[in-house]
Amino acid sequence: MTAYLTDLTFQLLNGAMKLSEQRKLVLQRFFRAAQTNDGGFAGYYSKSDIYYTAFSLRGLFLLGALDDSELLQSVSIFLEHEEKQEMRPIDLVSFLFSSAIVHMAKNTEFSAEQKNKILTRWKKFQREDGGFAVSEYTEYSSTYTTFLAAVSFEILDAEEEKQKIPVTPILARQCSDGGFTELSLLQRSGTNPTAAAIALLKMLGCELPNQPATINFLLNRQTPQGGFQAHTLIPTPDLLSSFTAVVALRELNAQQQYHSELLRNFLNELQLQDGGYCGSLWARQSDTEYTFYGLALESLLSVPSF
């Protein structure tokens, strides 16, 4: 079975290759400008952060711009420092993405000791239902965090650990509208947990129940502005939800059913003068996270099928 992350990365790379050289150069400069003196990358603020470092490196990877040995060495030093810190699940997966990209660029690998330590770290976030919570202090498992755990296990080539994740708690979160909730105690489905559930079920080799309803749920999240809304209580679209909805719809072979030109127009409106992207029409500040999602969505819209 093809790894979900490998498949998605291939599609993003394929699309990014179709961007103009000028566009790629502008994006490269944006990501590189976010690097700080300690080797990490910053987001809204000047201090480096493992979260934004991961998005910057993922962006540079898609753009084929990781052939700078000085950059890789400085990032490696930053990652050595971060590995010793306490990490939440989002930090763990950010660390893994960053480290995997650096290993790929330097033609090295995770050591067996590193893998075991990271797998052990994940265990403290696992809950009784087999899913994973957003922090060690959170009682309930999260659909999105469980998806992140599965992604982490794919990065570490820990297939046995990934297959231990039970599908029943995730399936129980599907609502009558076809969407999925983030937590078991919630009753309103959302775009991002639905996309996470679709990806997670694929990674675990499970068929998606009531697929037509799920497709309709996602299609109905596209707004007249062209982007997708996070859920029905938020009327305005955002870049993250638009990216995850498109990935999910393409995963369900429904990529021809959303309005791609409207989405292109929305994406263009989110691009700022510095070359980066902001997250929504009302939050007009770019950062490396949303610029990665903008680049990724640009790339997906450049390829005809998933």
Q: Per-residue pLDDT tens for 179-204?
A: 999 999 998 999 999 999 999 999 99
73 is written with which tokens? 């060495």
List all residues 6 or more positions away from 140 whose beta carbon is below 8 Å from its beta carbon.
127, 133, 183, 184, 185
User: What whole-number distance in Å separates Cα of residue 200 and Cα of residue 148?
Assistant: 9
User: pTM here?
Assistant: 0.96
Q: What angle do CA 26, 27, 28 make, to 5 degrees?
A: 95
User: What whole-number distance in Å separates Cα of residue 18 and Cα of residue 20?
Assistant: 6
Answer for the pair 148, 162: CB distance below 8 angstroms, yes or no.
Answer: no
Listed as ranges, residues in the chain with pLDDT below 70 are 1-2, 304-306
pLDDT reported for residue 45: 80
pLDDT reported for residue 176: 96
